[in-house]
């Protein structure tokens, strides 16, 4: 598989530095597409928000009474997320943790949220990430992902992801339920990013 020509592969250190300000994706509320999924009752059980940033999706799940854990490699982001949880009176675990080593969390999840993480990985790390996901998802667990699509013009921001790449990444042990074109909001402007909203279920062995 060749690398997408349009890509921005930040290191964890670079991501961490971006949280000294407000990064473009940090809109201070859940992505509307994830909010709609939550409103439709699609999140259930034990929830893991991977690459949680400052925690809005983890907080949203916890506000709905779900036991939610948020992880991010950025200590600065996790610190902000913890502060928000305290301010909102929510008991949530936010951990500084690498998404490529989810097994070491030592827990199994029913719902996994990924808003803007999948598209940050190189091809090699993308494959490792999917294996890492397998280790922490129960059979029948659902993975919801929002990523930049190849229909987004320009070459700023992360690499673009095609439907075919998504299907290839999740071809073994997963069932793709839907891939829909949606908007990923940023704080850069009104129009948003042309994104894929993906629903995937971990197959029952
Ligand atoms: C585009 S941001 C999205 C943040 C958040 N989900 C949101 O919607 O605001 C991607 C996040 O993934 C985190 N990240 C990048 N590589 C990671 C890794 N290997 N393990 C865990 N988090 C990672 C970054 O620190 C950043 O917070």
Encode pLDDT of 25-73 as tens digits: 999 999 999 999 999 999 999 999 999 999 999 999 999 999 999 999 9
State the Rg of the chain over Cα. Answer: 16
Q: How far apart are CA 180 and CA 197, in angstroms?
A: 5
Sheet containing strand 109-115, strands side by side: 93-96, 67-72, 46-50, 109-115, 137-148, 193-202, 174-184
Q: Give pLDDT, residue 189.
A: 84
Domains, the chain, ranges and CATH?
12-202 (3.40.50.150)
pLDDT band at 205 (very low <50, low <70, confident <90, very high): confident
Contact 178, 28 (CB under 8 A): no
Ligand 1 atom with minimal separation from the 99 CA: 20
Ligand 1 pocket test, pick from 29, 32, 49, 53 with the greatest ligand atom count within 8 Å of Cβ, gives 53
CB of 195 within 6 A of ligand 1: the answer is no
Q: How far is the CA of 133 from the centre of ligand 1 (A)?
A: 15
DSSP state of 99: G
Q: How far is the CA of 39 from the centre of ligand 1 (A)?
A: 24
Residue 89 phi/psi, 5-degree rounding, is 65, 35
Q: How far is the CA of 51 from the centre of ligand 1 (A)?
A: 3
Among protein residues, the one whose CA lies closest to atom 27 of ligand 1: 53
Q: Give pLDDT, residue 8.
A: 52
Q: How far apart are CA 161 and CA 44, in angstroms?
A: 27
Whether residue 181 has pLDDT greater than 60:
yes
Residue 155: Cβ within 10 Å count: 11
Whether residue 75 has pLDDT greater than 60:
yes
CB of 186 within 6 A of ligand 1: the answer is no
């Amino acid at each position: 598989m060749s690398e997408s020509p349009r890509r921005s592969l930040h290191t964890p250190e670079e991501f961490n530095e971006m949280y000294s300000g407000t990064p473009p994706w940090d809109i201070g509320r859940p992505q509307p597409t994830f909010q709609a999924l939550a409103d439709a009752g699609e999140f259930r059980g034990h929830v893991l928000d991977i690459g949680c940033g400052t925690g809005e999706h983890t907080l949203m799940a916890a506000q709905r009474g779900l036991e939610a854990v948020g992880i991010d490699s950025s200590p600065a982001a996790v610190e902000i997320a913890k502060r928000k949880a305290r301010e909102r009176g929510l008991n949530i675990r936010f951990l500084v943790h690498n998404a490529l080593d989810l097994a070491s969390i030592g827990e199994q999840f029913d719902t996994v949220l990924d808003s803007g993480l999948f598209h940050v990985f190189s091809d090699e790390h993308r494959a490792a990430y999917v294996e890492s996901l397998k280790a922490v998802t129960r059979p029948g667990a659902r993975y919801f992902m929002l990523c930049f699509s190849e229909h987004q013009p320009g070459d700023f921001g992360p690499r673009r992801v095609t439907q075919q790449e998504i299907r290839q990444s999740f071809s073994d042990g997963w069932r793709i339920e839907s891939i829909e074109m949606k908007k990923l909001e940023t704080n850069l402007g009104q129009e948003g990013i042309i994104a894929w909203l993906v629903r995937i279920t971990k197959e029952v062995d």
